[in-house]
Amino acid sequence: DGGITQSPKYLFRKEGQNVTLSCEQNLNHDAMYWYRQDPGQGLRLIYYSQIVNDFQKGDIAEGYSVSREKKESFPLTVTSAQKNPTAFYLCASTPGGMGQIDGGYTFGSGTRLTVV
Amino acid sequence: LAKTTQPISMDSYEGQEVNITCSHNNIATNDYITWYQQFPSQGPRFIIQGYKTKVTNEVASLFIPADRKSSTLSLPRVSLSDTAVYYCLVYNQGGKLIFGQGTELSVKP
């Protein structure tokens, strides 16, 4: 079955370390997104990419970096510059660009990052 | 960007119909109304989308009045497994999804 795979499901990071969250999709979708969710809150957009080798900052990009070298993959690096990285991170994709109307967004099952 | 307002939480019992209303007074002409469902520690799942009048699928119905300033998600005969957070979003092609707090639905036996 096609879908989005995020790994790992749980991740622990020491302060000052960079960590990379993996997101892979086999849906042949053009656009991919990273969201952050804090307890009791909605999702906030970190970065998005509408084509390979191109990406744009979302609303809360500071302290994060991404790459899009392959259509299937959109890894997110949480750097030591991110002051409050403990959160639930969700990756999503759409067939077309942002604001896909037909069919909606497909989300992965998330990675829960905890700073220890 | 249209802002949406929906109840923070709702309670229901198994077998009941649940209606969750969302207000979006500033909806634009080319905006669509979309609902997502999210279970704990999972990503949101697309439920239904509409532009006007009524849309129905195997999971839910979406009622949109003529002025489109609100919409109602209707879940028929809920079960315990429908306990989740439901998000109402308003956006257009090329627009950004803005997730609010959503409505936390609790279904009791």
Average pLDDT of the residues of chain B:
93
Sign of the CA dihedral running A79, A54, B44, B89: positive
Which of B97, B98, B99, B103 is the best residue to mutate to test the A interface, defined by the most A CB atoms within 10 Å of its own CB? Answer: B97
Distance from CA of A111 to the nearest CA of B (A): 9
Is the separation of the CB atoms in B27 and B90 below 8 Å? Answer: yes
A42 CB neighbours in chain B (<8 A) are 87, 98-102
Is the separation of the CB atoms in A89 and A76 below 8 Å? Answer: yes
CA atoms within 13 A on the CB side of B98: 13
d(CA A2, CA A59): 29
- Residue B45 sits at the chain A interface (C-beta within 8 Å): yes
B34-50 pLDDT, tens digit each: 999 999 999 999 999 99
Measure the CA dihedral A70/A75/A76/A77, to 10°. -100
Q: Give mean pLDDT in consecutive 10-residue pieces for chain A, a chain of 116 residues.
A: 90 92 95 93 92 94 97 96 93 83 85 93
Place of tokens 């497994």: B81
A55 burial (CB, 10 Å; 0-12 / 13-18 / 19+) is buried
B71-80 pLDDT, tens digit each: 999 999 999 9
Q: Decide if pLDDT at B96 tops 90.
A: no
Cβ separation B101–A40 shorter than 8 A: yes
Compare all CA atoms of chain A with the CA of B34 and give the residue at the minimum distance: A104
Banded pLDDT at B1 (limits 50, 70, 90) = low
- What pLDDT shows up at residue A96? 78
